[in-house]
Amino acid sequence: QVQLVESGGGSVQAGGSLRLSCAQSGSTYSRYCMGWFRQASGKEREGVAAICSDGGTRYADSVKGRFTISKDNAKNTLSLEMKSLQPEDTAIYYCATTAGQIQSYLLLVSDLYNYWGQGTQVTVSS
């Protein structure tokens, strides 16, 4: 049973930074692709950033240059460093992992992810 637990959410002012973490257990972490997704109130869930075991990454256009995804295989942890946060970044952020490798261009497709965390709230005020 794969378990994902997010942490690090909170409230910041526009221009601020946050770092999200996702601890994974119950799986061979390094074999899979992992991603961060978010869902704002009244909107559909969207892919934010993802990374695969080969180190390849993919970012949503809206966060390129501001967010950085990384993973620590030794600690089974996925992170998302978020800088220059804006009110439109306000959402519940979810960590997810696939059950196998997927093509790089599909990394932000949420339907391809098999396991999900409970989410952590990020609120950015203007």
Q: What is the pLDDT of residue 26?
A: 82
CB 124 within 8 A of CB 86: yes
pLDDT at 99: 85
User: How do residues 30-75 score in pLDDT, each as one tens digit?
Assistant: 668 999 999 999 999 999 999 998 888 999 999 999 999 999 888 8
DSSP string across 107-120: TT-GGG--EE---E
